[in-house]
Structure 1
Amino acid sequence: MRILLSVVALGSTLTIAQAETRIFVDGNKLHNFCLSHPLSASGYIIGVADQQLIAEDMNLGQGSKFKFCLPEGAQGGQLVDTVCQYLKNNPQIRHLSGAILVTGSLSEAFPCR
């Protein structure tokens, strides 16, 4: 629940920035990918997750609100299922950036300990 509130708070801050910055995939489009274009959803979700993990490895993601730690043996399909389920269960925030929703849902599902 804390993550959801963080996503909403960050999203409200980003709403102003979104007016000036082009966001290619929001949560509504990503949810549609989950339902109708699973390969597109998979590519987007795994791409965002990879980018976040690489940024962390390079110490570029320090201070990120949405840090996640995948368990040993985690598969890409698990990430896709996790994010798609999160989008299904939280329609009230699907207007936010898809990348924010991917990292937020993964940090909730796979918190670092």
Structure 2
Amino acid sequence: MKKVLIFLAIFYSFFISNGYAAFKTGNEIYPGLEDWKRTPSINQTTAAVAFGYVVGVSDALDQAIFCLPPSVTAGQITDIVYAYMRDNPQIRQKDASYLVATALKPYFQCRK
């Protein structure tokens, strides 16, 4: 069920954005991540899209850029990416998928 919800969030993001999800910047998804961290969320759609984007990109890059252990949760992944973007506002204009990879790589390096 969780995978279906994540898929729907990513799929939905194609229709509510001004471009394709692959061309989102950190500036575009950061407000949604902030909202995702807020309880209760002010805009659940924006929060779900940002959460789905981060989880989708991390799933796509898993085993290529970094290696996620089976025990890591989507919440942990999103927490790491949110903290990285919060602590590095000077680079939020970069491609969001690059920022996701850059945030996760130090924590989930692949073993040789």
For normalisation by structure 2, the TM-score amounts to 0.64
| TM-score normalised by the chain length of structure 1 | 0.64
Provide the residue aligned with 2:84 in structure 1: 86
The answer as to whether partners of 2:85 and 2:92 remain within 8 angstroms in 1 is yes
Q: Percent identity?
A: 36
2:99 to 98, 101, 113: 101
Runs of 4+ in 1 over 2 A off after TM superposition: none
1:27 corresponding residue in structure 2: 26
Structure 2 unaligned regions, length at least 5 = 1-20, 36-45
What's the C-alpha RMSD, in Å, of the aligned pairs?
A: 1.9
Number of residue pairs aligned between Structure 1 and Structure 2? 81
Unpaired segments ≥5 residues, structure 1? 1-21, 62-66
From 46, 52, 56, the equivalent of 2:55 is 46
Which of 72, 75, 81 is 1:74 aligned to? 72
Tell me: CA distance 1:110–1:87, structure 2 relative to 1, closer, same or farther (3 Å). same
Structure with the larger RCO, 1 or 2 (CA within 8 Å, 6+ apart)? 1
